[in-house]
Chains A and B, each alone.
Chain A
C-alpha cells in the first residue's frame, strides 16, 4: 500500500515586482494621493504586508473625475477604429504579461494559481478582445444617432475577481466611448494598479482610464461626485442600496451587480457523478467568493443519501493551501473580516440545527483559511439557507417534485444565477423557464463568456454585463 503525496510545485513569484508603495493613475500620470494617506495591503495566505496603496480622498477623486472629463473630449473625438485598436493593444499586453498578473492576483487575493492562470487571466484578455471588436461596430447593432456614451463613468469593483471585474467594467465602457474612474477593492488593488502601468504602456490617451485606490469613503466620493455621469458597481446588496439612495433624483446612470444565493437543483435523473463535480465547482470555485456561486444545493429526496455520500468523498480530495502551489484547489479566504463573517454564519447554522461536514485537512499556520464545508439537514428558514455566506460553505435543501424545487429556488431575495442537473432536456427547459435568475446553467456551472450577458433579478441588481446587452449598460438615449 502506498501513500502517494504530491510534492510541492510552487509557481515562482520572481516574475512580479511588487513596489513598496503605489500611486494613483490620474490623467495619464502616476501621482501620490493628496491625502498623503495609505492603506496596507496584506497577503491573505501569509498575513505579510505586501505594499502600501493610496487611501484617496475627495481631492483625489476631484482630479480623477476632472481628468476623465478631459479624457472624454479626446476619446470621443477619435474614430471608433482607433478606440478598437487601443483595446486590442491592451488585450495583447494582458496576454503577454498574464503570468505576472496571475501570480500577483494569487499573492494579493489568495486564489489558487491554477484558477488565476487558467480562468481569471484568459477571461480578462477575452473580455478586452471581445469588446475591442465591438468598438467600431456599434452602429451595426443600433443607430449611432440614437445612442451615445454617458461620458465619465465611476466604477467600483469587488475583491473576488479583482482583475476580471476590472475587465468586465473597463472594456465595455471604453468600447462605447466612455472614460472611467475605477476604484478597486481595498484588499485587492495591486493588479488594478499594475493594470494602470499597462494602460500607460499601451499609450492610451491621458484621462481615459483613471485608477484610484481607497476604502469605502473613496467609493462614496466617486458616487457623490457631481460630474459623474454613470456608476457601475459590483459588490454587496447592502452597499448597492446605499449607492442607489445617493443617486436618487440625479441624472446619473446606474447598474448594480450584487449578491446571490443560487439554487443548484439536482434531479434524480441527473448524471450523478458529473452533478457532484458541478456542485463542487459551483460552490468551491474561488473559495466560494463568487456572487453567482451555487451555494444552495437543492437535492431531490430520492437521491439525497447517495449524493451526499459521493459529495463528501469528493470534497475530501480538495487540496487546501498555498495559493501559489499549482496543485492547490482551495486558497486563502480573502480577508480576516470575511473569514469572521463565514465563521459566524457557519456557527449560526450549527446552532440552528444543521449537520456540518468539514473536510479533514491541515491548514497553514498563518493566513486566513476555512475548511470546505457542507451543511445537511437544513431548513429553508435557517440563515445559512438565506444569507449569502460568500465562502466555501454549501447548504443542502431537499425537494420532492419539480414544482417544489422551483418554489424553494425562488424563495430568496436574490436572483443572480441557478443550476439545473438532469439528463432530460424537456425538464431543463421547464425548470429554466420558471427560475427567477439572470443566468441558468444546465448540467454545468460557473461558465462565463464575454459574449454572454450576466446580471441579476430582484435584489441581485440590474443591468447586464457582457455581450450586446453589456454595451447597453454604457450607452444612453440621445436627446
Chain B
C-alpha cells in the first residue's frame, strides 16, 4: 500500500471514493444562480438584523496580508480584534486575526488575554508555486510561532493540469504538519472559475482533512461570491452525508458591506441550517467589512449613521 493511500484511510474517505465523487460533480449554473438570487431577496430587519450583525462580528477573521505589514500595524489590528467598538461593550470580539507567518508572534502577544485566535497564511500564500518542502517549512514555522489556525492555498497548477491526486496529497501532508492546528484550505475560486471546479476542489480539500474550506486569498480581482459559497456549502453537506464530518466554510475577498455579509448568513442558514451559524463553522475574511458592520449596529441602536472617525482604526 502506498504512503498516500494510507493517509487517505485516515481521512475517512478512500481516494477511489473521493475521485468518484469528484468526477460526478454536476452543477447547473442557471439553476444555481437563480437559487442564490432568490435567497438574496430575504428581508432581514429589526432584532434579526442586530443578531446577524453581532454574529458577523464574531465570525470575522480580521486580516492584513501586505508586504508593508509591520509590528505597529499588527498591534493596531489585534487590539481592534479584541475590542472592535470600545464605545459598545456588548459587541463581541472577532474570531481571529489573520496575518503572515513572520507576524504571528506579534499578534499572539496582543490577543493573549482574549478568545481571539491567530491565523497564519502559509504554503507560500497566495500562489503556492514552490516545492512541497518549502510549503511544509512555511507551515511549520507559522505553527512554531504560535498560530492557532493555518490558511493554506491549494495547488492550482496541479488542479488545472488535472492532477487532482497531487492537490489532495499536498493537503494531506500539510494537515499532518498541522495536526490539531485548525486547517483552512483556500480554493481560490477566482482561479478555478467554474462551479464544477469549485465543487471538485471542495471535495478534494475536505477529503484530505481540511477543517475549513475557504473561497479566496483576497489577492485576485475575483474574490468570494455567494454562488461560490453555495457550491462549497453543498459540498460540505454532501461530505457530511458520506462521512459524518462537519467542516466549516470561510468566505473572503470582496465582502465589504454588512448587507452582503447578511446575505451570506441567510444562505448558510437556509442551505445548511443554523447549527452552521457559529465561528467554529463559518467565518468571514474581513478588512473593511468590520467597520461597516459596526456602523450598522450603531445605526440600529441610535437611529443615526456615524462618521468613520467614531470607530477606532484597525
Asked if B269 contacts A4 (CB within 8 A), the reply is yes
- Contact string, B20-44, partner A, CB cutoff 8 A, digits 1/0? 0000001110111011000001111
| Complex alpha-carbon distance, A326 and B47, angstroms | 16
A4's nearest neighbour on chain B, judged by CB, is B274
| Complex alpha-carbon distance, A66 and B184, angstroms | 76
Asked if A277 contacts B35 (CB within 8 A), the reply is yes
Contacting A at CB under 8 A, from B28-77, are 28, 30-32, 34-35, 41-49, 51-52, 55
Minimum C-beta distance from A114 to chain B (A): 6
Minimum C-beta distance from A17 to chain B (A): 24
- A271 proximity list for chain B (CB < 8 A): 26-28, 31
Asked if B26 contacts A423 (CB within 8 A), the reply is yes
Asked if B28 contacts A2 (CB within 8 A), the reply is no
Asked if A274 contacts B35 (CB within 8 A), the reply is yes
Residue A270 CB within 8 A of the other chain: yes
Asked if A9 contacts B43 (CB within 8 A), the reply is yes
Asked if B26 contacts A272 (CB within 8 A), the reply is yes
| Complex alpha-carbon distance, A394 and B55, angstroms | 37
Asked if B46 contacts A7 (CB within 8 A), the reply is yes
- A114 proximity list for chain B (CB < 8 A): 41
- Contact string, A390-410, partner B, CB cutoff 8 A, digits 1/0? 000000000000000000000
A317's nearest neighbour on chain B, judged by CB, is B270
| B48 partner, pick from A6, A270, A272, A317, beta carbons under 8 A | A6
Residue A5 CB within 8 A of the other chain: yes
Residue A71 CB within 8 A of the other chain: no
Asked if B26 contacts A269 (CB within 8 A), the reply is yes
Asked if A4 contacts B28 (CB within 8 A), the reply is no
- A317 proximity list for chain B (CB < 8 A): 270
Residue A444 CB within 8 A of the other chain: yes
Residue B7 CB within 8 A of the other chain: no
Residue A327 CB within 8 A of the other chain: yes
Q: Is the interface of A mostly helix, strand, loop or mixed?
A: loop
Residue B142 CB within 8 A of the other chain: no
Asked if B234 contacts A2 (CB within 8 A), the reply is no
| Complex alpha-carbon distance, A327 and B42, angstroms | 6
Contacting B at CB under 8 A, from A417-464, are 423, 443-444
- Contact string, B257-281, partner A, CB cutoff 8 A, digits 1/0? 0000000010001100011011000
Asked if A278 contacts B278 (CB within 8 A), the reply is no
Asked if B44 contacts A6 (CB within 8 A), the reply is yes
Residue A77 CB within 8 A of the other chain: no
Asked if B41 contacts A118 (CB within 8 A), the reply is yes
Residue A78 CB within 8 A of the other chain: no
- B26 proximity list for chain A (CB < 8 A): 269-272, 423
| Complex alpha-carbon distance, A7 and B55, angstroms | 16
| Complex alpha-carbon distance, A5 and B234, angstroms | 22
With A271-B31, A274-B32, A443-B30 already in contact, the answer to whether A4 and B277 are too (CB < 8 A) is yes
Minimum C-beta distance from B97 to chain A (A): 23
| Complex alpha-carbon distance, A6 and B45, angstroms | 7
- A6 proximity list for chain B (CB < 8 A): 42-44, 48
- B49 proximity list for chain A (CB < 8 A): 7
- Contact string, A1-31, partner B, CB cutoff 8 A, digits 1/0? 1111111110000000000000000000000
Asked if B31 contacts A274 (CB within 8 A), the reply is yes
| Complex alpha-carbon distance, A272 and B278, angstroms | 27
Asked if B55 contacts A273 (CB within 8 A), the reply is no
- Contact string, A264-299, partner B, CB cutoff 8 A, digits 1/0? 000001111111011000000000000000000000
Asked if A7 contacts B234 (CB within 8 A), the reply is no
Minimum C-beta distance from A321 to chain B (A): 13
With A1-B278, A3-B274, A4-B277 already in contact, the answer to whether A443 and B28 are too (CB < 8 A) is yes
Across the A-B interface, the 9 shortest Cβ-Cβ residue pairs = A274-B31, A9-B43, A326-B43, A271-B28, A274-B28, A7-B46, A7-B48, A271-B26, A423-B26
**What are 23 A-B pairs at a CB distance below 8 A?**
A1-B275, A1-B278, A2-B55, A2-B277, A3-B274, A4-B48, A4-B51, A4-B274, A6-B43, A6-B44, A7-B45, A7-B47, A118-B41, A270-B26, A271-B27, A274-B31, A274-B35, A275-B28, A278-B31, A327-B43, A443-B28, A444-B30, A444-B31
Known A3-B274, A4-B51, A273-B234; 11 more pairs at CB < 8 Å: A1-B274, A1-B275, A4-B48, A4-B277, A5-B48, A9-B43, A271-B26, A274-B27, A326-B43, A423-B26, A444-B34
Residues of A within 8 A of B (CB): 1-9, 114, 118, 269-275, 277-278, 317, 326-327, 423, 443-444
